[in-house]
């Protein structure tokens, strides 16, 4: 059965038309998944380590998914990029939760020659929140040790706008298929989230504020167009299958 699969792939490869590796990329699609982590918020009257010791951790990681289209500006190392993104991020150990749907528009600069397999880039992105922007929090938590009970009240304000410098790399495993990795630091623009926390073990009311500045890191798949599958791509695919099957 293994040999039948390999023979079929070889026959398919023979029918593909060879393409020039220097065919310019005109546009691309990419899809990503990864993480988002808000930076520690500011709490009046107590440090982050002290806040953690009397309650629960301040920060909370979340999930980020992205879908983009990219247009390469002809005869230049620049491109324009836009799409949709979804962020799930928390604060105060997840007690305060933001679910952000947003449109993204940005640009990229590719300093390396287009023929290179590894394509590093830098860019700047902007985001507009098209979903819910404000919600209230009014919650209480209890445990077997009542000294650790606490309440939280306040307003969660998701950023209406955000901006982020980004750096990343496209690693082309085939002529028009790349693995993409990207890091960004997103800065929330607009009113800040404000939450008051009260712990049974401490008479102080702690006032927490944040603008939802956050780190992001994602990994995704990128398809460039016009799409070409070269004979070399087919050979590489078959060699990879041989390695997986026999080694």
Reported as a single tens digit per residue, the pLDDT across 199-242 is: 777 778 888 888 788 999 999 999 999 977 666 555 555 555 55
Of 226, 195, 215, which is closest to residue 55 (Cα–Cα)?
195
Question: Residue 201, SS3?
Answer: coil
Alpha-carbon distance 121 to 125, whole Å?
A: 13
- pLDDT reported for residue 95: 77
The model carries a pTM of 0.76
- Return the bridge partners of 110, or none: none
- What crossing angle do the helices spanning 231-246 and 2-15 adopt, rounded to 10°? 170
Average pLDDT over the chain, rounded to whole? 79
The whole-angstrom distance between residue 157's C-alpha and the CA centroid of its chain comes to 21
Work out the number of other CB atoms within 10 angstroms of the CB of residue 116: 12
Q: Per-residue confidence at 45, pLDDT binned at 50, 70, 90? A: low
> What mean pLDDT comes out for the span 133-152?
78
Which phi and psi (to 5°) does residue 112 adopt?
Answer: -85, 155
- pLDDT reported for residue 120: 98
């Amino acid at each position: 059965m293994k040999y039948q699969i390999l023979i079929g792939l070889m026959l398919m490869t023979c029918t593909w038309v060879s393409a020039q590796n220097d065919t310019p990329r005109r546009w691309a699609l990419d899809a990503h998944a990864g993480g988002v982590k808000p930076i520690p918020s500011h709490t009046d009257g107590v440090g982050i380590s002290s806040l953690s010791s009397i309650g629960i951790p301040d920060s909370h990681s979340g999930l980020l998914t992205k879908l983009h289209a990219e247009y390469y500006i002809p005869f230049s190392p620049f491109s324009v990029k836009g799409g949709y993104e979804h962020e799930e991020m928390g604060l105060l150990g997840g007690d305060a939760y933001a679910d952000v749907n947003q449109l993204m528009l940005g640009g990229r600069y590719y300093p390396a020659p287009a023929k290179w397999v590894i394509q590093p880039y830098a860019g700047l992105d902007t985001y507009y929140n098209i979903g819910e922007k404000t919600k209230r929090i009014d919650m209480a938590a209890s445990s077997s040790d009542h000294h650790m009970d606490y309440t939280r009240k306040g307003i969660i304000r998701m950023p209406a706008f955000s901006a982020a410098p980004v750096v990343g790399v496209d690693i082309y495993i085939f002529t028009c298929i790349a693995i993409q990795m990207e890091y960004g630091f997103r800065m929330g623009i607009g009113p800040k989230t404000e939450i008051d926390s009260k712990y049974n073990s401490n008479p102080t009311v702690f006032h927490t504020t944040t603008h939802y500045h956050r780190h992001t890191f994602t990994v995704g798949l990128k398809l460039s167009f016009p799409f070409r599958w070269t004979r070399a791509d087919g050979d590489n695919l078959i060699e990879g299958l041989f390695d997986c099957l026999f080694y």
